[in-house]
Amino acid sequence: MSTNTMGDGFFVFFRLTDHIFKTNNRFRVNITSSTGKLIKIDSVSPVDSDDKYAPIEISDSAAPIILAYIIQRTDNAIVVSEGEAKIKYDDITRKLHVLDFKQKNMEGVALKLDDSKNPYFNLQLIRATGSLCSKLNR
Give the CA distances from residue 123 to residues 2, 12, 15, 100, in Å, rounded to whole numbers and listed in that order: 23, 8, 7, 14
> Which of 98, 19, 41 shows the shortest CA–CA distance to 65?
98
97 Cβ neighbours under 8 A, 6+ residues apart: 87, 88, 89, 90, 120, 122
The answer to whether residue 34 sits within a structural domain is: yes
The answer to whether residue 16 sits within a structural domain is: yes
The answer to whether residue 26 sits within a structural domain is: yes
**Residues 128 and 3: beta-carbon distance below 8 Å:** yes
Strands 65-73 and 29-33: antiparallel
pLDDT digits (tens, 9 = 90+) for 15-49: 333 232 323 444 344 444 445 555 444 344 444 44
The answer to whether residue 21 sits within a structural domain is: yes
Q: Which residue has the higher pLDDT, 85 or 113?
A: 85
| pLDDT range class, residue 132, cuts 50, 70, 90 | very low
State the average pLDDT over residues 75-100: 56
| pLDDT for the residue numbered 101 | 61
Q: How many structural domains compose the chain?
A: 1
pLDDT digits (tens, 9 = 90+) for 94-115: 555 556 666 665 554 444 434 4
The answer to whether residue 44 sits within a structural domain is: yes
Query: DSSP secondary-structure letter at 93?
Result: T
Domain extent for 57: 10-124
